Structure 1
């Protein structure tokens, strides 16, 4: 019994594990199988301890892997899919920004065109007959005189003229802006091309 107690000690068992050949040759009272059983049991217990040491033993909510049935499933990340989604989102955002910039550019170009048209009309209006100093913000009326190619700016509206009207045709109602340009209020009835063609012919004469 004393000898078996010594055999069961950790020091001898460690020695037996390190030298398995020695275990095969070690016989006590014709019972080597008992020794091998003890050694194998010790090895299994040591392996199970080493395996347990690799397991997560903390709280379930901090576990890197699901520990309960109600834990959220861990899905593998498809890097190609993530990359494709990122590229698609990038292009979508870029196209949206480009579309907004194009709309802004179109609006700016439209405003530029309106300013250029107003400048041309203003230059032509200043060549018309104007017998007063116009006041900014006031509304006036543009007429074509009896003599073709000559125009008149008047403070009198078309319906205010009597029988002795000094024009042959009403063209438009205009207003002097703060930048000294003229704004055509009723653009729908104003024929800019006809008005533009008439003024140069008047200058040439």
Structure 2
């Protein structure tokens, strides 16, 4: 009986008194060690981060589509036929020609009967800004 230890003392034959090294409480008066629910924290974090990535992806996708549309309109206007040097800040109208070649004009769409494609303004960067265009999608 002399080798018997009390029940509330942490002792093992191979490690001796090792209560300070254990990851759990070893006495009646020790504070409760509560394991946090890391799985739900991770899943909430993953959900939030994935939403943020999805929102950013959609934002970039919309910006890309807008950029490509601007590029297509600029390509269309610059490939059009015109016999004058466009002035920055002026408004021009793009029409489809009977010969299949588009042309740029100062004449508005309500002033004559041509197939209207859009109204554009040249900015200081030599980029054509679409002010109004016929319902056309390049995608």
TM-score of Structure 1 vs Structure 2, range by shorter chain: 0.5 to 0.7
CA RMSD of superposed structures (Å): 2.7
Please give the alpha-carbon distance, in whole angstroms, between the structure 2 residues aligned to 1:168 and 1:151: 11
Match of 1:136 among 79, 88, 108: 88
Matched, 1:182 2:128: yes
Contact 1:140 1:153 (8 Å CA) reproduced: yes
Q: Which residue of 2 aligns with 1:89?
A: 41
Residue 133 and residue 190 in structure 1: after superposition, are their counterparts in 2 closer, same or farther (change >3 A)? Answer: farther
Residue 91 and residue 192 in structure 1: after superposition, are their counterparts in 2 closer, same or farther (change >3 A)? Answer: closer
Deviations 1:84-112 (A, max 9, x none): 2x331232123212211221122112212
TM-score of the two chains, using structure 2 as the length reference: 0.62
Contact 1:121 1:192 (8 Å CA) reproduced: no
Aligned residue pair count: 110
Q: Which residue of 2 aligns with 1:152?
A: 103
Unaligned runs of 5+ in 2: 1-28
Q: Which residue of 2 aligns with 1:102?
A: 54
Please give the alpha-carbon distance, in whole angstroms, between the structure 2 residues aligned to 1:120 and 1:106: 21
Q: Which residue of 2 aligns with 1:15?
A: none
Please give the alpha-carbon distance, in whole angstroms, between the structure 2 residues aligned to 1:149 and 1:106: 36
In our comparison, the structure showing a higher alpha carbon Rg is: 1
Identify the structure with bigger relative contact order (alpha carbons < 8 Å, sequence gap 6+).
Answer: 2
Residue 135 and residue 91 in structure 1: after superposition, are their counterparts in 2 closer, same or farther (change >3 A)? Answer: farther
Residue 92 and residue 136 in structure 1: after superposition, are their counterparts in 2 closer, same or farther (change >3 A)? Answer: farther
Higher helix share: 1
Contact 1:144 1:150 (8 Å CA) reproduced: yes
| SS of aligned partner of 1:142 | strand
Residue 115 and residue 105 in structure 1: after superposition, are their counterparts in 2 closer, same or farther (change >3 A)? Answer: same
Q: Which residue of 1 aligns with 2:8?
A: none
| SS of aligned partner of 1:129 | coil
Please give the alpha-carbon distance, in whole angstroms, between the structure 2 residues aligned to 1:192 and 1:88: 44
